[in-house]
Amino acid sequence: MDNQKLSEKIDKAKEWFGESILPEIPEAISNNLKHNMWPLQEEAFKNFLFYENVKEGSSNESLPNVEFVKKDEPTHLMFNMATGSGKTMLMAACILHYMQLGYRKFLFITNQTNILDKTEENLINKLHQKYLFDDQLMINSERVELKKVDSFSKTKNFEIRIETIQSLHLDLQESNQRENINSLQELNDLDLVILADEAHHFNVMAKSPKSEKDIEENWENTILNKIFRHSKISLEENKNKLLEFTATIPEKKNVLEKYQDKIIYDLPLKKFREAGLTKEINIVTFTLSQKEKILYALVFNWYRHKVALKHGIKNFKPVILFRRKTIEESRSDYDEFLKIVKNLTIDDFNFLSTDIPNKIQDANLGQSNNFGHTRTSQILEELEDPSMRNELVDFIKENFNEKSVVITNSKDNKKKSESITSDLQKQLNNLEDPRNLIRAIFTVQRLTEGWDVQNLYDIVRMDQGVNEGGTNTKVAPATVQEAQLIGRAVRYFPFKYEFSDTHKRKFDQDLDNELRILEEFFYFTYDVKSRYLSEISKYLREKGYVDGPPIIRVEFKDKFIQKNKKFYNNGVYWINEVLSKDFDQQQDIDEQDLKIEYKLQALEIVEQYVTFSELDRPERVKEKTYPSTFKLSEIEPHILHKALNQIYFDGDYMSFSKFKDLFNIENSYEIFSNTVLSKLTVSLESQYQTLDYMPNKEILRIVTDVLKEFLQKVIEVEMRNIGTDIFIHESLNSLHTTPKRKIYKPSQESKSLEAMSVLTTIQNADWYITSTILDEENTTPNFFPGTDEERDFCLYIESMVPSLKEVFKNVFLLRNEEKIKLYNYQSGIGFQPDYILYLQKNEKLFYYVLIEPKGPQLINTDSFKELFLEQVNNAFGMNGESLHANNFEYKIIGLPFYVSKNSINVFNSKHKLPNQEDRSYENFDNAFRELLK
């Protein structure tokens, strides 16, 4: 237990006592923030609140009294969170929490001046796009201001000092004491909240033991022992707070031990990336000339701009960074760049159409990170139209000029290190601002820590050599710096697209979607085929920047094609035609759709004192909940409209103008009175007896969720066509012309011995006609790419193959991979049966069997699919009409859902659902065996 981080101990406590031990985020805090926190930020902040509430002996009875909260010394915590995960937002929330508690003096410290500017913009500058607080701060029902000061006053004003740790340390040296600067004595008289950013730099003592004189004189000692834990009062009486924030705690034993009991939240980049909150990194190596490198990056920039415009992504302005080892080279690149752009013609891009594919190579990173070739092909396709090349040249000339291309080194700087004006620093900290003109940056190493940018999409390494200085076991420091720069670029650029989460990647399951490039970052580097590339890849992999879940590709087996040429060339698959129809809200929205059930998560209360060494799992007591029902039209209009505004009420997909046409209304007020929404009823289960007792914030949350669900359904219904009983055919060999590629997240179960044995069976079987391959390696995956139900179904077919082969000339099982879509007759809802079994009865006749393995828990929800399969079977099955294609006759047979024996038994023993008595393994088995007759 002692080796656990504080955050792990809190996780353990959550596991034992239930999530409800964590406090809700008070409205007083969320209302004072301009934006909502992301779920991971909320998680971090709740850990913090939990710790502080336990420490301060909160009156909340549901809080367990855990021993890891240190009550007899001042709070010292560390937020260890990945770059871009929003540490400053958490800092703002922590400030608000302490303001509520009466703290009035905040000391922000860091090690770099550029971070000071950024922090000031986040916490002080109300006019800045990245200001984090609400315009008007309300603390304990009073309007207040948080003012930046150089020295804390003796007033009760809320004040913040924003300093580098070095300048603070120097200010406190006796020899530097001066008027208007707080003395140590004065700081010790205050209850201070110290916020330390990029705190991994504050570990001089822990890094290497020093002499007493060194310790006395270093700034870590100043912060820790002179300001935070000063000797003026006892530790029990000391009310100071020290919150540290960093993405990278140095991996040194001493430092790790120092922070073990302080890490209140640990969010490694890997977790952050897996949550879909970053761009995906791609490294492309090339053997291009300096000019071609520049143009190649510019083409990527233009293509992103083009895709964003096409899809209505607002204010999308991708930025490129050109990186160099020396200031002189960077300056020369910058001048050269402007010259190239000035004289640019379409002929300059000829290198793209000739042998570019031979000159670029995707670095061997993770499978989600090798898209240089794919995107280049997409771009080349776009440029096939000659007019596009003119447009490209116009775009570059308009957008990359002396105003929009900057260098992080002022012309008049004579120093050896880079230096820029504070105005440029401010612009660089605000690249996402629509009015910000910067499109390209030339730099050496000015932009590393504390640079906060979301729309940096490409970095071009202009050097051609190797970074020196590493050893066989240690990465060269310059390479580490480059990897850290790449780290700055993984921040996701949030954009709205349909109903997906603005802040999350949207195309992990659709990697060939042209919009995917808006969530990909590219690092271009010369192909040195050296230690450099393998080092940077290794570093990125170790730090969790790359190597996501594998991508699988599904295609026809070569063996199948070779041995069954006639069937492969003449066989077909069947889809039914669809008819478009006008949307009629009264007819097309079912009564059932107008009733929405909503369960507000109930609190769980536990009461027990524990130490983890003598713990018994406590009883959980669920707070009582009450059912209630209300119509949306009964909710106060201002809440309804706030909810509408929160659910993407602009853009093309779901705009007011869309609903205006759809519901035939004049203004948004009518949407709740003159449309089907007026009939929308919510059956609510919550801890509130009636809505009267419920806080508006909760009502807003419910209404927003309900509206979102319902309007999404309306749009789906509106876009839906009606399936007809006219079946048309497509050539089987066209099905996998473009193999299906998708990211597949294998479960533990899919890697079991049993699952692997089924995979081997189907990969080798002549009756299973597609193969699943890891896209990059071209090898068989080490997991079964499907659900447990699908795995059992494959085993079932394997067991039936001998009997099938006695009756049928050929047996072919096709995994559909969501390519063949059928449309329900009544509702028009589309669905893709998972498997199609081709059974060739004789030279002329095929049974075309549609099969859908289904987990028992989904049988009722998906019953419409089973009904449709039955209807198809009645119309085109054994006793129905025959279909003909390429001299073959087809009988389309729809079978009941396949449910495995095991899962239906387990399910039936635990649940009792309506109509469940009729459901058994035999439903499918009996129908299947009919085929053998």
Contact positions vs other proteins (CB under 8 A) = 305, 308-309, 314-317, 394, 398, 434-435, 650, 657
Is the distance from CB of 775 to CB of 552 less than 8 angstroms?
A: yes
What token pair was written down for 668?
């948004």
Is the distance from CB of 247 to CB of 197 less than 8 angstroms?
A: no
- Altogether, the residues listed in the chain come to a count of 933
Is the distance from CB of 804 to CB of 839 less than 8 angstroms?
A: yes
Residue type at 216? E
Question: Measured between alpha carbons, how far is 63 from 53 in angstroms, rounded to an integer?
Answer: 8
- Neighbouring CB atoms inside 10 A of 156's CB total 9
> DSSP secondary-structure letter at 36?
P
Pick 395 or 598: Cβ nearer other proteins: 395
CB of 129 to other proteins, least distance (A): 9
> DSSP secondary-structure letter at 533?
H
Pick 315 or 738: Cβ nearer other proteins: 315
Give CA separation, 433 vs 427, 430, 504, 534, in Å.
Answer: 9, 6, 20, 36
Question: Measured between alpha carbons, how far is 666 from 651 in angstroms, rounded to an integer?
Answer: 18
State the residue for tokens 């990527």: 300
DSSP-derived 3-state class of residue 731: strand
Pick 341 or 610: Cβ nearer other proteins: 341
Please name which of 62, 53, 110, 61 lies closest in space to residue 87, comparing C-alpha atoms.
110
Please name which of 484, 476, 458 lies closest in space to residue 530, comparing C-alpha atoms.
476
What token pair was written down for 633?
């039209």
Is the distance from CB of 279 to CB of 521 less than 8 angstroms?
A: yes
What token pair was written down for 916?
């469940």
Question: Measured between alpha carbons, how far is 429 from 129 in angstroms, rounded to an integer?
Answer: 10
List phi, psi (to 5°) of 262. Answer: -120, -15
Is the distance from CB of 304 to CB of 457 less than 8 angstroms?
A: yes
Pick 434 or 802: Cβ nearer other proteins: 434
Please name which of 820, 726, 807, 278 lies closest in space to residue 506, comparing C-alpha atoms.
278
Is the distance from CB of 64 to CB of 609 less than 8 angstroms?
A: yes
Pick 156 or 435: Cβ nearer other proteins: 435
CB of 404 to other proteins, least distance (A): 12
Pick 318 or 856: Cβ nearer other proteins: 318
Which strands form 740-743's sheet, in the order they lie side by side?
740-743, 551-556, 770-774
Pick 273 or 311: Cβ nearer other proteins: 311
List phi, psi (to 5°) of 67. Answer: -80, -15
Please name which of 538, 472, 552 lies closest in space to residue 509, comparing C-alpha atoms.
552
Pick 437 or 743: Cβ nearer other proteins: 437
Please name which of 118, 116, 121, 96 lies closest in space to residue 106, comparing C-alpha atoms.
96
DSSP-derived 3-state class of residue 777: coil
Pick 127 or 753: Cβ nearer other proteins: 127
Pick 317 or 506: Cβ nearer other proteins: 317
Give every CB contact of residue 488 below 8 A, 6+ residues apart in sequence. 83, 447, 448, 451, 453, 456
List phi, psi (to 5°) of 552. Answer: -110, 155
- Residues 793-811, buried b or exposed e (16+ Cβ, 10 A)? bbbbbbebbeebeeebebb
Is the distance from CB of 835 to CB of 815 less than 8 angstroms?
A: yes
Pick 154 or 435: Cβ nearer other proteins: 435
Give Dmax (Cα) for the chain: 102
CB of 394 to other proteins, least distance (A): 7
List phi, psi (to 5°) of 702. Answer: -65, -50
> DSSP secondary-structure letter at 750?
G
State the residue for tokens 């990194």: 281
Pick 315 or 569: Cβ nearer other proteins: 315
CB of 660 to other proteins, least distance (A): 12
Pick 650 or 881: Cβ nearer other proteins: 650
Pick 203 or 455: Cβ nearer other proteins: 455
Pick 314 or 809: Cβ nearer other proteins: 314
CA atoms lying within 13 Å on the CB side of residue 157 = 13
Pick 498 or 650: Cβ nearer other proteins: 650
